[in-house]
């Protein structure tokens, strides 16, 4: 059993009571809602004649279903329009703040909340979306929940949960140039497996982690769930505090000292006990790309599609499924695999620094012929900041499409979809069969800079070559 970790401390502070059946009732400090998983929850609430317990701790935005080409209302898809209209109606009725389209704050829920300073260290954060783990980057305990739990949190601002074990993933050294947070997390998932984190919270720490910016930290915690961990977190530090300072919902100047003191007190103790510890050397991590149908099927850019014999027995059936679905043969180098579509965006890699990294590669180059490449900022704030720097022009000149903010092709609950057997280079987080909107569509996950490099060359490329040759 873990003792003295941030997870333990936050858990204890938010524990309301033990429930029959063995779970614990946990207070939820921030509840984020969106159009996909909230409508049924509101309906169930009304069916039971209940109201929203803490309107001011519930914040809404719209992201999954919004089109990214024209966001004019009503949307051309009547189902999408109905979902947004329902969210608007529910928020109005229950007096919940909705950061809607055109508000300047709309965005993918996991991009929007940190930007507004809503996500803070030591909070419990819940949202009806599995990538809620993103918010752990701030030292919050943040987890995705199902629709019936959305209803529970709306009704009671709390949730029934079982305590997780804590595994520390310690990263020594530093990431090399051309290697990004995305590579680090893809590498960790590859090593520990997509089920490796089941039953665990992941604490990411070590010098390589604390050298990262907040946006990079969010990329890492975002994909904790792909490693099977319900939540991932990073102990808050100076980087966290200076990111938060001055954000709209952050504590005021007057209270700032008090806030920092509390946040620091929650950090994992020096002599804390973990249920498990794993050590990585960040300097050994290389650009990493997935080749298969789970995020755990990753390869270093210089490797080839594995032969079944080289895999553990338990990994072979899914590998076989992947060869045929992906139409990639064992022994094929991943570098050079031709692609059709390039997608830069999502709550994993749709933030300003992601677009900057991709733009650095795209600048002055051209998207290869026949490739469809597009950039979808994670939020209206990201879009604005990127435009202020002229990133949109860099992309457009290179032949990328510049879109409006939303989840886009990450899960394709909107018009952005792969077609037929198209294969994409994506900065998103899931490469499951059919994930990007075509039941035979294929996805290679990689960092945004790698996606840009793939767009320029029309095939999977080692971004470090472009960086080194051009002394970027």
Residues near other proteins (CB under 8 A): 13-17, 19-22, 25, 27, 29, 36, 39-40, 43, 48, 50, 65, 79-80, 82-83, 86, 120, 122-123, 130, 144, 146-149, 151-152, 155-160, 249, 251-252, 255, 258-259, 262, 413, 434
Cβ distance to other proteins smaller for residue 16 or 211: 16
Q: Tell me how far, at minimum, the Cβ of 334 lies from ligand SF4, in Å.
A: 23
Q: Which does 399 bind (CB under 5 to 8 A by kind): other proteins, ligand SF4, none?
A: none
Q: Which does 407 bind (CB under 5 to 8 A by kind): ligand SF4, other proteins, none?
A: ligand SF4
What is the distance in angstroms between the CA of the first residue and the CA of the last residue of the chain? 47
Q: Tell me how far, at minimum, the Cβ of 320 lies from other proteins, in Å.
A: 15
Q: Tell me how far, at minimum, the Cβ of 472 lies from ligand SF4, in Å.
A: 27
Cβ distance to other proteins smaller for residue 252 or 469: 252
Of 4, 3, 10, the closest CA to residue 262 belongs to: 10
* Cβ-count burial 163-190 (b if 16+ within 10 Å, e if not): bbbbbbbbbeeebeebbbbbbbbbbbbb
Assess whether the previous peptide bond of 74 is cis (omega < 30° from 0).
yes
Q: Tell me how far, at minimum, the Cβ of 79 lies from other proteins, in Å.
A: 5
Cβ distance to other proteins smaller for residue 35 or 340: 35
Q: Give the Cα separation of 429 and 222 in Å (integer).
A: 8
Of 256, 29, 261, the closest CA to residue 135 belongs to: 29
Q: Which does 237 bind (CB under 5 to 8 A by kind): ligand SF4, other proteins, none?
A: none
CB-based burial of residue 279 (10 Å sphere; 0-12 exposed, 13-18 middle, 19+ buried)? exposed
Cβ distance to ligand SF4 smaller for residue 168 or 351: 351
Cβ distance to ligand SF4 smaller for residue 107 or 306: 107
* C-beta separation of 50 from 155 below 8 A: yes
Q: Tell me how far, at minimum, the Cβ of 13 lies from other proteins, in Å.
A: 6
Q: Which does 146 bind (CB under 5 to 8 A by kind): other proteins, ligand SF4, none?
A: other proteins
Site residues for ligand SF4 per CB under 6 A: 63-64, 108, 110, 129, 131, 346-347, 407, 410-411, 428-429
DSSP per-residue codes, 9-47: HHHHHHEEEEPTTS-EEEE-SEEEE-TTTSHHHHHHHHH
Residues 6+ apart with CB under 8 A from 49: none
Q: Tell me how far, at minimum, the Cβ of 440 lies from ligand SF4, in Å.
A: 20
Of 338, 337, 390, the closest CA to residue 359 belongs to: 390
Cα separations in angstroms, 280 against 94, 206, 288: 47, 9, 15
Q: Give the Cα separation of 116 and 114 in Å (integer).
A: 5
Q: Which does 346 bind (CB under 5 to 8 A by kind): other proteins, ligand SF4, none?
A: ligand SF4
Q: Give the Cα separation of 56 and 426 in Å (integer).
A: 36
* C-beta separation of 154 from 46 below 8 A: no
Q: Tell me how far, at minimum, the Cβ of 132 lies from other proteins, in Å.
A: 12
Q: Which does 129 bind (CB under 5 to 8 A by kind): ligand SF4, other proteins, none?
A: ligand SF4
Q: Tell me how far, at minimum, the Cβ of 25 lies from other proteins, in Å.
A: 6
* C-beta separation of 191 from 298 below 8 A: no
Cβ distance to other proteins smaller for residue 14 or 99: 14
Q: Which does 332 bind (CB under 5 to 8 A by kind): ligand SF4, other proteins, none?
A: none
Cβ distance to ligand SF4 smaller for residue 61 or 205: 61
């Amino acid at each position: 059993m873990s003792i003295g970790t941030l997870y333990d401390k936050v858990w204890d502070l938010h524990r309301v009571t033990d429930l029959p059946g063995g779970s614990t009732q946990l207070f939820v400090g921030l509840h984020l809602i969106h159009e996909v998983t909230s409508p049924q929850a509101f309906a169930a609430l009304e069916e039971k004649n209940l109201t929203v317990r803490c309107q001011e701790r519930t914040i809404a935005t719209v992201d999954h279903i919004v089109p990214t080409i024209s966001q004019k209302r009503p949307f051309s898809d009547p189902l999408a329009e109905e979902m947004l209209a329902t969210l608007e109606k529910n928020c109005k009725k229950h007096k919940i703040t909705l950061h809607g389209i055109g508000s300047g704050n709309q965005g993918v829920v996991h991009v929007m909340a940190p930007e507004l300073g809503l996500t803070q260290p030591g909070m419990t954060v819940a949202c009806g979306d599995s990538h809620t783990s993103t918010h752990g980057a701030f030292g919050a305990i943040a987890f995705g929940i199902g629709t019936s739990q959305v209803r529970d949190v709306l009704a009671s601002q709390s949730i029934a949960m079982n305590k997780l074990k804590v595994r520390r993933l310690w990263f020594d050294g530093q990431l090399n140039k051309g290697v990004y947070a995305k590579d680090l997390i893809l590498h960790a998932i590859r090593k520990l497996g997509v089920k490796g984190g089941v039953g665990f919270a992941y604490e990411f720490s070590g010098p390589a982690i604390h050298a990262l910016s907040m946006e990079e930290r969010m990329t890492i915690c975002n994909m904790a769930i792909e490693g099977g961990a319900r939540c991932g977190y990073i102990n808050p530090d100076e980087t966290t505090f200076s990111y938060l300072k001055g954000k709209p919902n952050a504590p005021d100047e007057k209270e700032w000292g008090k806030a920092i003191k509390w946040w620091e007190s929650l950090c994992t103790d020096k002599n804390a006990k973990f249920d498990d510890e794993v050590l990585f050397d960040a300097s050994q991590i290389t650009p990493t790309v997935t080749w298969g149908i789970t995020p755990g099927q990753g390869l270093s850019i210089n490797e080839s599609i594995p032969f079944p014999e080289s895999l553990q027995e338990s990994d072979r059936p899914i590998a076989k499924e992947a060869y045929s679905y992906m139409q990639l043969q064992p022994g094929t180098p991943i570098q050079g695999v031709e692609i059709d579509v390039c997608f830069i965006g999502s709550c994993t890699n749709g933030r300003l620094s992601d677009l900057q990294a991709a733009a650095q590669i795209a600048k002055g180059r051209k998207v290869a012929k026949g490739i469809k490449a597009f950039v979808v900022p994670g939020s209206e704030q990201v879009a604005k900041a990127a435009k202020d720097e002229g990133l949109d022009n860099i992309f457009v000149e290179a032949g990328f499409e510049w879109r409006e903010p939303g989840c886009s092709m990450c899960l394709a609950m909107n018009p952005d979809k792969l077609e037929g057997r198209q294969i994409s280079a994506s900065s998103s987080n899931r490469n499951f069969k059919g994930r990007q909107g075509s039941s035979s569509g294929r996805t290679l996950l990689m960092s945004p800079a790698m996606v840009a490099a793939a767009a320029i060359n029309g095939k999977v490329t080692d971004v470090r070559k472009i960086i080194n040759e051009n002394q970027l």
